[in-house]
Structures are given as C-alpha cells and as structure tokens.
Chain A
Amino acid sequence: MSATLLSVEDLTVRFGGLTALSGVTFCVAKGAVHGLIGPNGAGKTTAFNLISGMTAQTSGSVTLEGAKLDGLPTWKRTARGMARTFQNIRMFREMTALENVMAGAHLRTPESFGSILFRLGSFRAAERSAVANAMDILDFVGLSEQAERRGGDLAYGDQRRLEIARALASDPKLLMLDEPAAGMNPSEKIGLIDLIARLRARGLTLLLVEHDMHFVMKLCDRITVLNFGAKIAEGAPAEVRANPTVIEAYLGAKVARSLETRA
C-alpha cells in the first residue's frame, strides 16, 4: 500500500436546502490516477471546489500530505501543491498562451517588487527562466506553436490543454482535472490519454473527473463513484464496472434490472 497524498473525510456541503455532497470519504494514493465519476449533478465538480478551496465545506475535512487544509484560501492550497482545471474552461482570455502559463507559475516566479521596479538583474533572470519554463510546459502539452496566440482564440481542445499547462506551471503534487476530454474529438482524446500517461510517468498524482467511461477505465487505477452527493462505490475499474449499484445509478433502475435478467 503506497502512501496517501490526498484524503477527503466525511466531506459535506449544503447549498440552502440542497445537500450537494454528503459525507464523502476517499483517499488518493501518491502517484495514482484516481477517477471521480458519477452521473450529472452527482457532486463531482462540487468536490473539486471543496478540495481546492473555492467553496467552503459545511463539515468534514481535506488533508494533503497529512496536513489539514480546512479554512485555507485557494492560493494557500495551491502553495501546498495542488492545481486544478475547470469543467467550463476558465482561461485568462486576453492573455497569450505563454502568459497564461506564466500566470500559472505565479508562486514559482521569484521576483521582488523592488527588483521589478528597478529592473534588476535578478528580475531579468527570473523572467527569462519563467519564459523558458513556460515554453517547456507548452511543449510538453503540445502547444509550443501557439505560445503567442491569445488564450481565448485557441481551439476548444487546445484551450483544455492550455488549462492543463497552466495548472502544471505551479509544479503541483496533485493535479485535478475536471472533464478534460469534454468537447474533444477522438484524435484529441487520444492525445490527451497520452498526455495523462506522460504526466503520471513524471510522478504526478492525478484526480480525474470524466464522463467518457472508456477514457476513465483505461487510465484510472482506482475509481470513486458519486451519486446524488454520496459515495456509492469505490474500487479498481473492473470492480466498479461490475458493481450493480453503479450500473443502476448510471442507467436507471429499470435498465439495470433488465440487464440483470438478461445476464
């Protein structure tokens, strides 16, 4: 059993009368690709928002490398080593692709206010290495040709990859991707699968929300399934796929029953 990087304990959030997440508990092992799946509205994005600190939980806790993150704002969590992308792309649209990635490297660009104002050598050095580093990342996700284009002008699939690049720029330990393949065509998806495999080869831990089951089953070591805000199953892809509760959640009770009788 490898060490745990992220653990989510009894996480609950209510929005007015709606309990979007209730008592969800799971652990993500270091170096794993962990899937978080469930039907629409199951609470996957909400879980991401709670883990990254964009939404405050009602109860429960989030722990990264043994340290509790509860109450910390987003930027402090980022400093602790997590990064994420968004389901509905949130690019800095006016900035170039390169600038987007450099903005993602905010915490890793050592420039003091004084060195910026007086254009000191240390500033220039930091800036040059930030550019070089960002170019490497763009290259890694296959966007180096697009470096000078406006983020908002990129094709949809490229924007998704740029978001990944921007998240990578903070050099996270945990990378959370919210439906990275949404809206991608089949060849782009193949590229993405390859990209995720290379990320994992770099030793990164991934938490992945995705609707494309083929994609999820192929990439993930372990999968947590949510439905109506609660965890209904967890296990290796093969176990989860065979779990009747999961099938029922996805296909509805009727279909699930008919599948059972046929089998």
Chain B
Amino acid sequence: MMPHWLDNFLFTYQSLVYSLGVNALLALAMYVVLAVGQLALGQAAFMGVGAYASALLTVKLGAPFPIALLASMAAPALLAFVIGAPTLRLSGVYLAIATIGLGEVLRILYLNWDFAGGALGLNGIPEKAGFVWIFGTLIVALVAFVFVSRSRIGRAMEAIRADEAAAGVMGVNLPAYKLAALVASAAIAGLAGAFNAHVSSFIGPNDYGFDQAVTILSFALLGGVGSPFGPVLGALVLTALPEVLRPLHDYRLVIDGLIIVCVVIFLPTGILPWRIGRIGARK
C-alpha cells in the first residue's frame, strides 16, 4: 500500500511523524477559537478527555476503534459546551480562566480515578491509529477549514476577530459562532488525543496540563492565524526543531514560552503572515 521508502522512513521516525500529525491537529483546534478572537486554553484538557474516553473504550470495553473516535470527539465537545455556554457572553477573560482551570481539575480527577489507572495512567492501549488515520484526518480537516474560511462563515469569523461589536452589528450571531468554534475546537483536540493514545500505547494524568496547553498556543501563534496553514506550520516547526537540534530539547518549554511572548509583542501575524481570502466563488 505504501511505497517502500516511506515505510522505511516511517519506521525510523515513527513517533516523531505521529507527533507532527497530532500536534498539527491540536494547532488547528487552537486556530478555530483564535479565529473568532477567543482565547480558550482547553485544547490540552480536551485532548486528555478524548484520549481517556477513547482509551477506556478500547482497553476496558473492547469497543471498535471508530466508536472510540466518535466518543473522543463527543465527550470533550460536551464539556466545551458546559464551560463555553455561560462564559461566551462575558469578557474573554472568563473563558481563558475557566479553560485553564479545566485542565488542572481534570488532572486531579484522573489522578484519583482508579478505573482510569489513577496516577499510573492507562497502559497497553492498542495501536489502532496510524499514519493514514492521523494524516488523513489532518488533510480532511485542513480542506474543511479552507472551505469554511472562504465563505460567509469565514467572513463572519474574521469580522468577529477584527471587531466583535461591529460584527454583531453586521448581523453575526456572536455567541453562536463563539460556542460553535469552541465545540469544534474541543472535538478536534479530542480526536487528536485519541490518535495520540492509540499510537503511543500509554497515557497518563500529567500529559494534558498547563505546559501542554501553552505549548499548543505557541504552535498557533508562531505560525500565525491569518490562515489555517499558519498554525499547522507552527506545529511542524516546533515539533521537529527540538528533534533536529537535540540541545534545544531540554529547553523546549522555555522556548515555547519565549515564542509566545515575542510573537505577541513583536510579530503579531506569525511567521506565515499570508492571509487567506474570504470569497469562495467568483464569476
């Protein structure tokens, strides 16, 4: 099915390649909310919920993988709704706070949840996901994002990001858009979590905390949110770089933090400043 060289390459760099795909999906999850001018930091938490939901299904209940994937999207989407619905009418601070809090509290819950392995996490997760699943999903998601960007919805999203109140005056239903973006973000992050769990065979309660949440933000900001390609590029760079330049590996988090600070202050459009057009069809 796959060419021989690709097979070889995948075998050698398997885990790196998988992380590239998973992180690119997470960056897209971050992009959806940033694209409507919201800062939700629940992507790591949603990823964790997706990972735990799917892994519990496959490991403990022997559920088929596609069912586990559906659950990995539905569970975090529901959680996003519970947190998002009340906060999205308020100033953006509330959403940021609630989503950071979510990650912390989930960590505590996993730690104390014996059925989910407690502090030891879940082991022996079947390797059901792979190159095709991960990158197939990534491509489908990217195409969907591009299509949505070049439409009435994409225009409304950019309008919200540029000037929320003015977008409302144009007739854009602000809470509906923001909530839909948050729920979509949660579903994508959950799916990424499920893939990650089903290629790495192990998940633990501490994998989805604050560090991971901020790292995902750094992907999106480094790439820039002018188009969905920016965050994906950011994820690829920040995932591959520490592998290529080994000494950077120990300072990975320092670099992620520094990137966010510098990009916000000095380079608000990221390294891919190109902005996607918003019109889907002309003559």
Pick from A78, A95, A127, A130: contact of B169, CB under 8 Å: A78
Query: Which of A6-14, A115-123, A179-187, A209-217 is the contact stretch?
Result: A115-123
Q: Compute how far the CA of A165 lies from the CA of B121 in the bound complex, rounded to whole angstroms.
A: 58
Question: A56-79: which have CB < 8 Å to B?
Answer: 73-75, 78-79
Q: Please count the residue pairs between chain A and chain B whose beta carbons lie under 8 angstroms apart in the complex.
A: 109
Chain B residues near A53 (CB, 8 Å)?
168
Known: A90-B166, A94-B162. A102 touches B147 (CB 8 A): no
B174 touching A73 by the CB < 8 A rule?
yes
Query: Which of A103-111, A229-237, A245-253 is the contact stretch?
Result: A103-111
A116 touching B158 by the CB < 8 A rule?
no
Q: Compute how far the CA of A216 lies from the CA of B58 in the bound complex, rounded to whole angstroms.
A: 72
B245 on the A face (CB < 8 A):
no
Taking the nearest CB of chain A, how far is it from the CB of B45, in angstroms?
26
A170 touching B162 by the CB < 8 A rule?
no
B171 touching A94 by the CB < 8 A rule?
no
Task: Name 23 A/B residue pairs within 8 A (Cβ), A-sorted.
Answer: A54-B165, A73-B168, A75-B169, A75-B173, A75-B174, A78-B168, A78-B171, A84-B169, A94-B162, A95-B158, A95-B159, A99-B158, A99-B277, A103-B156, A103-B159, A103-B167, A103-B170, A106-B152, A117-B144, A123-B151, A126-B152, A131-B282, A170-B170
B163 on the A face (CB < 8 A):
yes
B275 on the A face (CB < 8 A):
yes
Chain B residues near A166 (CB, 8 Å)?
170
Q: Compute how far the CA of A200 lies from the CA of B166 in the bound complex, rounded to whole angstroms.
A: 24
Chain A residues near B170 (CB, 8 Å)?
75, 78, 103-104, 106, 166, 170
Given contacts A106-B172, A116-B147, list 9 more A-B pairs with CB under 8 A.
Answer: A73-B168, A75-B171, A75-B174, A95-B159, A99-B278, A103-B170, A106-B152, A106-B156, A126-B152
B147 touching A95 by the CB < 8 A rule?
no
Chain B residues near A128 (CB, 8 Å)?
281-283
A113 on the B face (CB < 8 A):
yes
B171 touching A117 by the CB < 8 A rule?
no
A124 on the B face (CB < 8 A):
yes
B86 on the A face (CB < 8 A):
no
Contact with B along A78-108 (1 / 0, CB 8 A): 1100011010001011110011001110110
Contact with A along B139-181 (1 / 0, CB 8 A): 0000010011001110110110011011111111110000000
B281 touching A124 by the CB < 8 A rule?
yes
Pick from A75, A92, A127, A170: contact of B280, CB under 8 Å: A127
Taking the nearest CB of chain B, how far is it from the CB of A94, in angstroms?
6
Pick from B147, B156, B158, B173: contact of A119, CB under 8 Å: B147
Q: Chain B contact residues (Cβ within 8 angstroms of A): what range?
A: 20 to 34
B241 on the A face (CB < 8 A):
no
Q: Compute how far the CA of A109 lies from the CA of B278 in the bound complex, rounded to whole angstroms.
A: 13
B279 on the A face (CB < 8 A):
yes
Chain B residues near A54 (CB, 8 Å)?
165, 168-169
B279 touching A102 by the CB < 8 A rule?
yes
Taking the nearest CB of chain B, how far is it from the CB of A134, in angstroms?
9
Chain B, Cβ-Cβ closest to A176: B169
B155 touching A95 by the CB < 8 A rule?
yes
A227 on the B face (CB < 8 A):
no
Question: A191-236: which have CB < 8 Å to B?
Answer: none
Q: Compute how far the CA of A123 lies from the CA of B166 in the bound complex, rounded to whole angstroms.
A: 25
Chain A residues near B283 (CB, 8 Å)?
128, 131
Chain B residues near A83 (CB, 8 Å)?
169
Chain A residues near B144 (CB, 8 Å)?
117
Chain A residues near B166 (CB, 8 Å)?
86, 90, 92
Question: A1-42: which have CB < 8 Å to B?
Answer: none
Chain B residues near A127 (CB, 8 Å)?
151-152, 279-282
Contact with A along B224-258 (1 / 0, CB 8 A): 00100000000000000000000000000000000
Chain B residues near A159 (CB, 8 Å)?
none
Pick from A92, A107, A130: contact of B162, CB under 8 Å: A92
Chain A, Cβ-Cβ closest to B143: A117
Taking the nearest CB of chain B, how far is it from the CB of A54, in angstroms?
6
Pairs of residues from A and B, 9 with the lowest C-beta to C-beta distance, nearest first: A74-B168, A78-B171, A107-B171, A127-B281, A92-B162, A124-B281, A90-B166, A116-B151, A103-B155
Q: Compute how far the CA of A166 lies from the CA of B170 in the bound complex, rounded to whole angstroms.
A: 8
Q: Compute how far the CA of A102 lies from the CA of B171 in the bound complex, rounded to whole angstroms.
A: 12
B275 touching A94 by the CB < 8 A rule?
yes
Chain A residues near B168 (CB, 8 Å)?
53-54, 73-75, 78
Q: Compute how far the CA of A159 lies from the CA of B47 in the bound complex, rounded to whole angstroms.
A: 43
Chain A, Cβ-Cβ closest to B278: A99
B275 touching A98 by the CB < 8 A rule?
no
A95 touching B278 by the CB < 8 A rule?
yes
Taking the nearest CB of chain B, how far is it from the CB of A217, in angstroms?
28
B279 touching A99 by the CB < 8 A rule?
yes
Chain B residues near A98 (CB, 8 Å)?
279
A75 touching B282 by the CB < 8 A rule?
no
Known: A75-B172, A170-B170. A93 touches B162 (CB 8 A): yes
